Amino acid sequence: MALNFSPVIAGTMKWGKWGAHFSTTAYQKMIDQCIEAGATTFDHADIYGNYSTEAEFGEALKENPSIRNQVQLITKCGICMAVPSRPGNQIKHYNTSKEYIIESAERSLKNLHTDFIDLLLIHRPDALMDPFEIAEAFSQLKNAGKVLHFGVSNFNVSQTNLLRSCFPVEVNQVEISILHTDPIYNGVLDQCIKDQILPQSWSPLGGGILNDLAVDERSRRIMAVAEILGEKYAAGFDQILLAWLMKHPAGIIPILGTTKAARIKSAILAKSIDMSREEWYMLLRAATGHEVP
């Protein structure tokens, strides 16, 4: 089954205890509004809300099981947090052992009230990760039909290649924005194009730093150009900056960590903005503060 995600992904990190503290009704409403807007893919991680957000989201799905056929669910594992809900963890650390990956996936399936996860990612590179062991876990989950696709998050090129030597990596979820352009130059997006790995961008708008009240010089430069382009395309600055990401040939899909459905709807419209190459470089110049070499 081919990868099939919406043009913008709804990130759930702030929907629960780490942000809006949604009730089950609020989760249901937000899910419905995202689907209506065209954002049918939802991004999770087992740790969100100190290991509680998946289950809260799952309660909303449980109330209306038919929604599962309309959405794609992403989750991540491998980070072990020292929080009350995990009393066995003395310090924050990583675990990408076969047993832990399978255990985490099984728990996510239960929390989300689903028979399968569309995409499972290793959340962070683990200095002790064994690619053969990870491949064994992925293969077992895939063969059981419990996970359809697999990938990584925050991996560099060599780390991704290490895992690719044992198992196909289909997605790399990394920080990419006009404020964080490293993946454009460090080989991550080059690898995505070459090896047909789908890049997903977390914090695609710079973590909310860019706004009409931007105070530092770099942000003011970016916002000035975004305002000019926004007038041309009748778009908001956030739509312009998302369109800048989507222009890249790697096919970047932004993950919006918002709790406002209106922002998801607005972000979807960014896909229709086809800025020119010169306009794309105008924004890059604003970000770097100098002309290209």
- pLDDT tens digit sequence for 191-229: 999 999 999 999 999 876 666 666 789 989 999 999 999
Per the CB < 8 A criterion, the answer to whether 153 and 173 are in contact is: yes
Tell me, what's the pLDDT at 213? 63
Residue 107 forms part of a structural domain: yes
Question: How many Cα atoms are found within 13 Å in the side-chain-facing hemisphere of 119?
Answer: 29
Q: Which amino acid is at 78?
A: G
Measured CA to CA, the distance from residue 239 to residue 268 in angstroms comes to 8
Cβ atoms within 10 A of the Cβ of 180, count?
17
Beta strand 72-77 with 93-94 is unpaired
Average pLDDT over all residues of the chain: 96
Output the pLDDT for position 209.
66
Active site residues: 48
Q: Does residue 23 fall inside a structural domain?
A: yes
List the alpha helices (DSSP H) in 83-180. Answer: 98-111, 131-143, 157-164
Span 16-60, pLDDT tens digits: 999 999 999 999 999 999 999 999 999 999 999 999 999 999 999
Q: pLDDT at position 3, please?
A: 87
CATH number of residue 84's parent domain: 3.20.20.100
Distances (CA, A) of 1 to 118, 145, 246: 10, 11, 24
Structural domain includes residue 151:
yes
The residue range of the domain holding 112 is 9-175
State whether the Cα torsion 42-45-49-54 is positive or negative. positive
Per-residue tokens: 101: 């990956």
Please state, in angstroms and rounded to a whole number, the distance separating the CA atoms of residues 73 and 34: 13
- The answer to whether position 254 is within a domain reads no
Q: How many domains does the structure of the chain reveal?
A: 1
Check if the beta carbon of residue 259 is closer than 8 Å to that of residue 232. no
Question: 21 lies in a domain?
Answer: yes
Calculate the alpha carbon distances from 260 to 31, 42, 173, 187, 257 in Å: 11, 14, 22, 34, 9
The pLDDT tens digits for 112-159 are: 999 999 999 999 999 999 999 999 999 999 999 999 999 999 999 999
| Strand, coil or helix: 93 | strand
Q: What is the DSSP letter of 208?
A: G
Distance CA 160, CA 180 (A): 20
**Is residue 275 in some structural domain?**
no
Q: β-strand 79-80 against 171-175: which pairing, if any?
A: unpaired
pLDDT at 285: 98
Q: How confident is the model at residue 90 (pLDDT cuts 50, 70, 90)?
A: very high
Residue 289: inside a domain: no
**Residue 26, in any domain of the structure:** yes
pLDDT digits (tens, 9 = 90+) for 92-109: 999 999 999 999 999 999
Reduce the DSSP state of residue 225 to 3 states and report it. Answer: helix
Question: C-alpha distances in angstroms, 23 versus 11, 55, 63?
Answer: 17, 12, 13
Specify the amino acid at residue 76. K
Residue among 115, 254, 101 nearest 175 (CA): 254
Alpha-carbon distances of 105 from 65, 75, 224, 236, rounded to whole Å: 20, 9, 45, 38
Give the DSSP H/E element, type plus range, for residue 42: strand 41-43
* Cβ proximity of 283 and 52 under 8 Å: no
